Amino acid sequence: MNVCEVKTVSTEPLLQPALSVLSLIGGTVLLWLALGSAAPAFAEGRCPPGSYPVGGQGVGGCAPTGAGAGGSSGSSVPRATGRWHKTWGSVASSGSTGDVGTSTGRATKSDAEQQAVLQCQRGGSPDCHTSITYKNQCVAVAGPPPGMRGGGAGRAGTVEDASRRALAECAKNAAAACSIKYSDCSKPVYEYY
């Protein structure tokens, strides 16, 4: 008779190396997860503090959240780089001789008027007076043919508009066809700091 002998074989020694490998892999994964979470945290997804994500569908970027947001440095209010200075111009004329004097680009109204009157008086006219004064604008003076009386002046943002106004005023005051005798602009000047 054959007797079969049954031997019980323990599997514990075979499972221990497998568990050791699994423990090693699991420990490595946990280590990587722990190290990965040590990266800088972004409050708004992929953007640094003080900004928020913009774009989408593969195109992304970050935009500042504005003044007063955490993490922003400096002021978002633009600083002035200079200032504008108004300039004045004037036209003076003589009622007796028809002489005219002009000035433009002056810093003050009184300086512009004074220079125009002085220029008018250079022709020998004793009765020169300010006809029109303007700032940061254009002016045009229209008059009839020589020897005829009348005329007109106009102010506007452009020489063309000032000329139309001057011709319209001249047409009311003169018996003959008028033409533009003078036009100029006194433009503001920007001074950088």
As a whole-number percent, the residues of the chain with pLDDT over 90 amount to 45
pLDDT at 106: 97
d(CA 177, CA 174): 7
Q: CA-CA distances (angstroms) from residue 14 to 10, 81, 172? A: 8, 81, 119
pLDDT at 63: 81
pLDDT at 146: 83
d(CA 20, CA 85): 84
Domain spans in the chain, listed from the N-terminal domain onward = 83-192
Other residues' Cβ atoms within 10 Å of the Cβ of residue 33 = 9
pLDDT at 12: 52
Range 146-175 average pLDDT: 91
pLDDT at 3: 54
| Residue whose pair of structure tokens reads 């005329």 in the numeric block | 151
CB contact at 8 A, 183 and 165: no
pLDDT at 15: 47
Average pLDDT, the chain: 80
Tokens of 36: 């990965």
Is pTM beyond 0.75? Reply is no
Question: Which of 127, 109, 106, 130 lies closest to 188, judged by CA?
Answer: 106
CB contact at 8 A, 102 and 119: yes
Which DSSP string corresponds to 25-83?
HHHHHHHHHHHHTTSPP-TBTTBPTTEEEEEETTEEEEEE--TT-TT--S--SPPP-EE
Beta bridge partners of residue 119, listed in sequence order: none
More confident residue, 35 or 134: 134
